[in-house]
A and B are shown apart, each in its own frame.
Chain A
Amino acid sequence: MIAEAGGIPGATVAWKASAGRRIVFIGHPNVGKTTLYNRLTGMRAHTANYPGTTVEVRTARTRCGGLELEWVDLPGLYGIEGGNPDEQVALAYLREAAADPGVQVVMVVDARYLRRSLALAAHIREMVPEMVLVLNRVDLARREDVGIAPEALARELEVEVFTLSARTGEGLERLKRYLMKPCGSRPESQRLKDGWSLNACGGGCGQCPYAARHTWASELCQKTLSRRVPGEGMRRSDRWDVWLTHPLWGLLVFAGVMTMLFQALFRLAAWPMEGIEWLFARLAGGLAAVMPEGLWAAFLTDGVIAGMGGVLVFLPQIAILFLLLSLLEDTGYLARATLMMDRWMKRVGLPGKAFIPMVSAHACAIPAIMSTRTIADRRDRLVTIMVLPLLSCSARIPVYVMVTAMIFPDRPGMAGLVFTGAYALGIVAAFMVALLLGKSVLPGKPEALLLELPDYQWPTLSTALLAMYDRSWLFLKRAGTIILGISVVLWALASFPELEKDDLPPAVLQELEVVDEAELEPMLMREQLSQSYLGRLGHAAQPLFEPLGFDWKITVGVLASFAAREVVASTLAILHGMGEDGVEDSGGLARRMRETLPAPVGLSLLVFFVLALQCLPTVVLVARETKSWAWALCQLMVMTAMAYTAAWLVYRLALVLVEL
């Protein structure tokens, strides 16, 4: 049933029945559910994939007086229809949990906006054996003069009702004490009232459960709530929305917020990234100093440590991006940004909800692809996934820096312009591909926008920090293992067969004799790489890249970077006889390359890197997310063909311009 509805085959609950209890948190999006969950579990929680899906569910285990508790934070959901993969997982989980007597469901609602949550509460109350209702944000409700009668509500619903504020901690202790009581010590859940049944309908529509529930919830609210006019929170948000969703002012604010986001992203991440590079260089250096020289030392320093550094160096940007995005989401602004962008994205056949993944893709396509799971429609989700890797991720930046510095060494203004151009090319290409996909293999219009705009509020730092921690950890687990593996394989390809002095051509031997001591090592490294398996592959494949102006060295770099882009700078550094230290000084590498490479080749290389899908982890992830290798391989081939054609065009054009 679930598999049919949303394509989650084999989704089952990863819970082995034990003597313990499960406390499951559920609720609408934007009711402060995760803040409450974090408040109760803190750093003990960890995020794991729901089996068979890429939807993440947070779980935490605690012990309390011999009782084992498992705390589960399900994704937010609006109804029991299961729209997007998030909602489907929450529902699948609830349905399975219903059969387990040790399950306690905690339904979290916003105390100010009780009515619309009550309908969902009613549905869930029917599904599960035990439920308590938590009225969150009671502090805001008080400030907005909303009177709630929790006792009356408890009586009517026949559930325990808790009023609290997850933000301030008010009322938290009572809920905690209740949840930690052993199951047997609480009264059995009572028989459901007739009014809860899905079939009963009083809304004038015989077959629709919602109208009936809505009427029932309205009546219940009239008995238990003392306000029926829009509260201060609503009115304040309405006033903000006049400006923030305005066709002109809204767009200006949006441009400002995005500029600030990216500025913060690149500026703040620069220091920790330098720190990580320094640390791993020291680590490799230290290890090389204490270990006897040989294959093992080379494997550990150049293969493993360099690979780990290659993964960790991207962590600061991913962490900072998700910290900032989470803070923005918490304020309520991201929903408005989605609304503002919907109009423009729709023109190229992308849904408004693709906007946040597209922002994330500028740090890394992997978390961006994972975040498309908020898109319910399969066509919309596929189009989004197909275009995300075209956006310039942080792994491309070293290449952009290197190439622009190479072409315009004395004109930082022009270098900056070309750098920006590379970014713009990625965005334009993404929109064009979306448009073409919509006109060919993925026809249809994006789903109509239907988006809740939550009240504006101050963000919670702890929630954002936990989101950052979650995302970073997932990136390390997912991309980290693959990138590390690739680094080791690349190292092996570049290190074997080992260089024998007798194998060197006489010309090189002569050259070796005349160079001074400092130049000797880089030269040997270059020769090693040149005659390694990777080097031979580069020589063999070079004719293929000849039309783009690539020599065998760049070809080796490009081939190596198909596994993971970031290795191109270090590969080129070695090939141009600079040793690996060239990576740390891409300007130095650029100077060296400029001597051997003309500007048209540089531009061609730049365009190739903007458009090519040189990232094996992304291909693997796309195959998993779309559940089809066909889509993943198709994406790889189309992007490669695009990159090749565009690079060829740019190379030819640049050659003509140079001659002029």
Chain B
Amino acid sequence: MTLGDSRAIGEVGMMALSCLPLGVKARLAAMPLQDALYRRMAAMGLPVGSEVRVVSRGHSLILVNDELRIALDRELAARVLVEVQEVA
């Protein structure tokens, strides 16, 4: 099993990060991306398991948590699955 496979396991009740409503806290649950891209996201502070909120959604999303603020391509966000934690 490669890194990509282990992240690709989806679960019921998840949604794409690109669909997450503004202000809703969610956990990054599965990131079936190319290895290099996943590692880059993880190194920047967004590995599987981290919590984020979306504060802005235009052409790109702006994700924040208590320690970082990262702009993310919408196409990329569509490939990341999140698990909703709580509604702000």
Contacts and interface: CB of A to CB of B under 8 A. Distances in A.
Interface string B20-63: 00000000000000001111111111011110000110111010
Given A450-B76, A451-B70, A205 B39 contact: no
Given A79-B43, A247-B58, A343-B59, A205 B67 contact: no
B3 A208 contact: yes
Contacts of B56: 241-242, 245
B66 A229 contact: yes
A203 B47 contact: yes
Contacts of A291: none
Given A81-B36, A450-B40, A207 B68 contact: no
Given A78-B43, A78-B44, A208-B48, 18 more contacts: A79-B39, A79-B40, A79-B44, A205-B48, A210-B43, A210-B47, A227-B66, A230-B64, A234-B69, A238-B69, A339-B60, A448-B76, A449-B71, A449-B76, A450-B40, A450-B41, A450-B73, A452-B69
Nearest to B33: A448
Interface stretch (A112-120, A256-264, A272-280, A563-571): A112-120
Nearest to A80: B43
> Which interface residue of A78, A342, A376 has the most chain B CB atoms within 10 A?
A78
A493 interface: no
A234 B66 contact: yes
Contact of A116 (B37, B39, B45): B45
B67 A113 contact: yes
5 contacts: A79-B42, A204-B48, A211-B48, A237-B69, A343-B58
Contact of B47 (A81, A208, A450): A208
B33 to A, nearest CB: 9
B85 interface: no
A228 B51 CA distance: 12
A197 B43 CA distance: 16
Contact of A453 (B36, B39, B50, B62): B62
Contacts of A47: none
Contacts of B70: 450-453
A203 B66 contact: no
Nearest to B55: A238
B61 to A, nearest CB: 10
A206 interface: yes
A81 B66 contact: no
Nearest to A84: B40
Contacts of B75: 448
Contacts of A229: 66
Interface string A329-342: 00000010001001
Given A448-B75, A453-B71, A245 B62 contact: yes
A449 B64 contact: no
A36 B50 CA distance: 30
B14 interface: no
Nearest to B70: A452
A449 B41 CA distance: 11
A83 interface: yes
B contact patch SS: mixed
Contacts of B60: 339, 342-343, 449
A450 to B, nearest CB: 6
Contacts of B39: 79, 81, 210
B37 to A, nearest CB: 7
Nearest to A342: B60
A215 interface: yes
Contacts of B66: 227-231, 234
A206 B5 CA distance: 12
Contact of B49 (A215, A234, A343): A215
B72 interface: yes
B48 to A, nearest CB: 5
A471 interface: no
Contacts of B45: 115-116
Contact of A205 (B6, B43, B72): B6
A214 interface: yes
B71 A210 contact: no
Contacts of A206: 6
A24 B48 CA distance: 31
Contacts of B43: 78-81, 83, 119-120, 210
Nearest to A221: B67
Contacts of A208: 3, 6-7, 38, 42, 47-48
B39 to A, nearest CB: 5
A206 B39 CA distance: 14
Nearest to B75: A448
A78 B40 contact: yes
Given A228-B66, A448-B76, A449-B60, A339 B3 contact: no
A207 B40 contact: no
Contacts of A211: 42, 47-49
Contacts of A452: 44, 68-71
B3 A207 contact: yes
A115 B64 CA distance: 14
B47 to A, nearest CB: 4
Contacts of A230: 64-66
A409 to B, nearest CB: 46
Contacts of B65: 230
Nearest to A338: B71
A116 B68 contact: yes
A214 B68 contact: no
Shortest Cβ-Cβ A-B pairs, 3 listed: A79-B43, A210-B42, A116-B45
Contact of B37 (A210, A227, A448): A448
A65 B67 CA distance: 41
Interface string A438-457: 00000000001111111100
Contacts of B42: 79, 208, 210-211, 214
A82 to B, nearest CB: 10
A207 B75 CA distance: 26
A80 B44 CA distance: 11
Interface string A197-238: 000000111111011011100000000000111110010011
A214 B36 CA distance: 18
Nearest to B68: A116
Contacts of A207: 3, 6
A342 B71 CA distance: 11
B67 A116 contact: yes
Nearest to A335: B71
Interface in A235-259: 237-238, 241-242, 245, 247
